Amino acid sequence: MKKYLLFLLLIVVFQKFSFSAAGDTTIIRSHDNTHLNWYGNFFTKTKFPAIDSNYKQILLKFTIGCPSKGCSDWDYTTKVFARRKIGIDTVIIKTPNYKLGTQIFDSIIYRTTPTYVTFFSAQAGGTDSTMSMQQKVYSFLDTTNRTLKTDSLNIYIAGYWNYYFNTSGVKTDSIYVDGTKLKQSYFSKTNYNNKYEYIEFARYITPYAGDRNFGFFREFTSDITDYRSVLTDSVEIGVKYEGYSDGFTVSLDYIFIKGEPIREAYKVVPLYYGGFEYGNPNNSIEKYIKEVKLAVDSSTAEMGVIVLQTGHGFGGNENCAEFCEKYHYLKINGVQRFSSAIWKNDCGMNPLYPQPGTWLYDRANWCPGEMVRPIYYDISQYIAAGDSLRLDLDMQPFVNQGNNSCSYNIATNVIYYRDRQSNTDLELQEIISPSADWQNNRFNPTCGKPIVKVRNNGKAISGFVVEYGMSNASTLQQFNYNGNLEMNESVVIDLDPLLLQVGGDFIARVIPQGVLVDYNLTNNEKRTKVVKASSLPNEFFIEFRSNNAANENEYELTNLDNSFWHYKSVFKNATTHRDTVRLQRGCYTFLFRDFDKDGLSFFANSDGAGYVRFKNLSGTTIQTFRADFGTEIRFQFTVDSVLTGIDNSNSAKDLGIQVYPNPSSTYCVIESLNNNPIQKITIRSIEGKICHEIGQFADPYRVELNTEQFDSGLYIFEIESTKGISREKVEIIR
């Protein structure tokens, strides 16, 4: 039996804390348009649900925006963390009771009357002298204010020998300049400072945003369910903005979804937190991310390690650590078990583009204007309840030459879990296309294949089913994914083509295969609105003006089933190329690539500028594209198609034409009334491909079609009559 998603009633309360009934969602805000500036820490005390309240998922909505004077120009690290008091640090501070001017001394000998220093002078023919400079000794004897000057004394330095010389400059005598000795003393004070541990659970790198003004904002959502044990009762939440400027605003909303989690994350232990120099043999990063021994509780069933790591600084021999790809290695009990490249290779596909900076360069696990990807390691197979284990994060060896700002910012947390409720929990994490979400603007609007992202919250699984379609359809299409998906792993899936209705709800849900039962049905389904794709004429030409790096470019034009493929490459530099295309009705994708990931125009290279555009046959521009696009242009459009509701035909009802039954199983009747004989019937797939044509009829007013020859799915019945053309969507069910 298929299980359908039951939607939860959302109660949105933007306050410090609000309680909710069973089955509800609670939203808590810790920071409300907090102004981030000047390398500041911004703390709030936030009340979260008590630990005895169960929540199956916790999401963080991170909203970045511009303050009243606009956003900062630069890409700065922004950390979100909980600060927990774990004890008291005792610090003894010693301050001097005396200073000579501004200098601290151990002891001095002085006089209050002038002293002189002798020296040999050829001009004087023997000994000469000069008076010593008068100085001040200050006293600081107020124990309540150690910076307050309580007294002063004008002195001349003594405690040295003066020598006397004959006419030849030979020393003939000496005398010691004596005085009063003042020995330094100190006042000691013991300070008691709170000792904290820091648990960073989200990180964002700000965009180059000097061109953004007040009113600009972007939202991001992260799953932080593993930090439930931290986000309970009263917690000090901090945002650290590592920018030397007046920068951004941030709002943080925590979305608690009621229910039993598939496994309870009951404890978090931070291993490392901070920025550490990299590549200095005299100050090795391994001194700071050294081995840590942890106890494994008797109730611990599983454990995971989450690493947030970004590289910063550039120049020198390998342009580290921002622009060099290096690995870290996780050792368990002295044996290397995991490794990851600290690298992100798709900055040229950044949805926040263009930016007034080097936004498209690939970097050390971050891109400007994006959340940082956490790296997760499941270490459950290496633990034994009631025992202990040793964890050690090591960096790839490297010696930095010529760069004094090479470092990694690392936060590593260990998560303790109790027994699982189930091994199966698939989540429809995101509908990438169709979508109106700004983060998916590279893939939308669409007229063709939907794209979804599925996450496995359970143990490793082999294959699953994605059901999808318009929400008003009587049946949904199915896509069988036959790959393996590990725990906490996500996969992006291009689904088969589907007829999309503009303004309608597109629905997708993920279902386990076979006898497996999904533990959490509330995260299996998502919906989006279908946004209208552009419509173009069936004939136009592609005009491409290459820059001085034409060898980096190629483009292709395809329809949904790839039965049409138009490809071009090998262009001349700084040349205008024109390419005429003639298309049938359908949905098409134009894909223009730049292999160097810097588009046709970018301020930081010497490639010059180019452009690409579409023009109709009379030379009028009908579609333009940004030249500073980074990696690729992906543009979907229709040609005289009903695929996204773009249809130049008449309504069948207006022409007196009826199509029934709909849905159809074995036959379908097309009946024309009002003295309007049928002249031709064309049946098309949802891609616009012709499946069947009929041009001669025994009865032009009533045509009965055998639909058993068609596969299940949606079809377009294009009906030409003496009064015009109409198109009807017909669902055929086998």
Residue 207 CA to residue 75 CA, distance in Å, equals 5
In a domain, residue 650? The reply is no
Q: Indicate whether 576 and 628 sit together in one domain.
A: yes
Q: Indicate whether 199 and 63 sit together in one domain.
A: yes
Give the three-class secondary structure for 512.
strand
* Cα 639 to Cα 559, 585, 646, distances in angstroms: 10, 5, 9
Instruction: Return mean pLDDT, the chain.
Output: 90
Q: What is the structure's pLDDT at 688?
A: 67
Q: Tokens for 412, please give them.
A: 């590593």
**Residue from 711, 632, 699, 703 nearest 664 by CA:** 711
Residue 306 CA to residue 338 CA, distance in Å, equals 12
**Alpha helical stretches, state H, 521-676:** none
Q: Indicate whether 521 and 632 sit together in one domain.
A: no
Q: Indicate whether 323 and 239 sit together in one domain.
A: no
Q: Which domain holds residue 358?
A: 263-421
In a domain, residue 647? The reply is no
Task: State pLDDT tens for residues 260-292.
Answer: 999 999 999 999 999 999 999 999 999 999 999
In a domain, residue 178? The reply is yes
Look up the CATH number of the domain holding residue 387: 2.60.120.230
Q: What is the structure's pLDDT at 440?
A: 95
Q: Tokens for 347, please give them.
A: 């900055």
Placement of tokens 């002189």 in the chain: 116
In a domain, residue 677? The reply is yes
Look up the CATH number of the domain holding residue 704: 2.60.40.1930
Strands 98-100 and 246-258: unpaired
Q: What is the structure's pLDDT at 498?
A: 84
In a domain, residue 356? The reply is yes
In a domain, residue 652? The reply is no
Q: Indicate whether 284 and 339 sit together in one domain.
A: yes
Q: What is the structure's pLDDT at 687?
A: 61
Measured from the Cβ of residue 479, the count of other Cβ atoms closer than 10 Å reads 19
Q: What is the structure's pLDDT at 734?
A: 73
* Percentage of residues of the chain with pLDDT beyond 90: 72
pLDDT > 70? residue 647? no
Q: Indicate whether 73 and 113 sit together in one domain.
A: no
Residue 501 CA to residue 520 CA, distance in Å, equals 30
- For the segment 141-147, the average pLDDT, to the nearest whole number, is 91
Q: What is the structure's pLDDT at 5?
A: 34
Which residue, of 137, 162, 184, is where some domain finishes?
Answer: 184
In a domain, residue 93? The reply is no
Q: Indicate whether 200 and 213 sit together in one domain.
A: yes
Q: Out of 169-173, 224-228, 719-723, give the one with best mean pLDDT.
A: 224-228
Q: Indicate whether 268 and 256 sit together in one domain.
A: no
Task: State pLDDT tens for residues 390-429.
Answer: 999 999 999 999 887 899 999 999 999 999 999 999 999 9
The total number of structural domains in the chain stands at: 6
**Residue from 431, 648, 650 nearest 531 by CA:** 431
Q: What is the structure's pLDDT at 655?
A: 79
In a domain, residue 646? The reply is no
What number of CA atoms fall less than 13 Å from residue 484's CA on the CB side?
Answer: 4
Residue 524 CA to residue 189 CA, distance in Å, equals 61
Contact 509, 516 (CB under 8 A): no
Q: Would you call the peptide bond into 374 cis, given omega within 30 degrees of 0 as the criterion?
A: no
Which residue, of 184, 205, 238, is where some domain finishes?
Answer: 184
Residue 613 CA to residue 595 CA, distance in Å, equals 19
Task: State pLDDT tens for residues 316-370.
Answer: 999 999 999 999 999 999 999 999 999 999 999 999 999 999 999 999 999 999 9
Residue 142 CA to residue 85 CA, distance in Å, equals 33
Which residue, of 244, 261, 278, is where some domain finishes?
Answer: 261
Q: Indicate whether 283 and 416 sit together in one domain.
A: yes
Q: What is the structure's pLDDT at 686?
A: 67
Q: Indicate whether 273 and 383 sit together in one domain.
A: yes
Q: Indicate whether 540 and 632 sit together in one domain.
A: yes
Q: Indicate whether 494 and 461 sit together in one domain.
A: yes
- For the segment 466-475, the average pLDDT, to the nearest whole number, is 89
pLDDT > 90? residue 652? no
Look up the CATH number of the domain holding residue 511: 2.60.40.10
